[in-house]
Amino acid sequence: AQRVTQPEKLLSVFKGAPVELKCNYSYSGSPELFWYVQYSRQRLQLLLRHISRESIKGFTADLNKGETSFHLKKPFAQEEDSAMYYCALSGYSSNYQLIWGAGTKLIIKP
């Protein structure tokens, strides 16, 4: 079955510290992986996707097919990074519909 697991409901780190938000997935085939973010009082928006290999707002994510992971990382957290982060996947086996993790709330302490 296709599944996305975000093991941490809440992650709290100090400003300037490194951040890693974990995402593991179960999927038959080659999925497309995404990170979406929701800042306070704003709507869900795409942060990055693995196929574009971009770094957005200092965040990067590497698809590790061996470990079936797509962890989101940032070397130096900023207070404006505080938000809800969702990992999601899509692909042929899910008829290209997005399957979402439960989300991780990231809090950056000053």
Partner 1 sequence: ETGVTQSPTHLIKTRGQQVTLRCSSQSGHNTVSWYQQALGQGPQFIFQYYREEENGRGNFPPRFSGLQFPNYSSELNVNALELDDSALYLCASSPTARDNGYEQYFGPGTRLTVT
Positions touching partner 1 (CB under 8 A) are 4, 6, 9, 32, 34, 43-46, 49, 51-52, 86, 88, 90, 95-103
Amino acid at 49: R
CB of residue 14 to partner 1, shortest distance in Å: 25
**35 vs 74 by CB, closer to partner 1:** 35
Closer of 15 and 68 to partner 1 (Cβ): 68
Nearest to partner 1 of 37, 77 (CB atom): 37
To the nearest whole angstrom, how small is the minimum distance from the Cβ of residue 62 to partner 1? 17
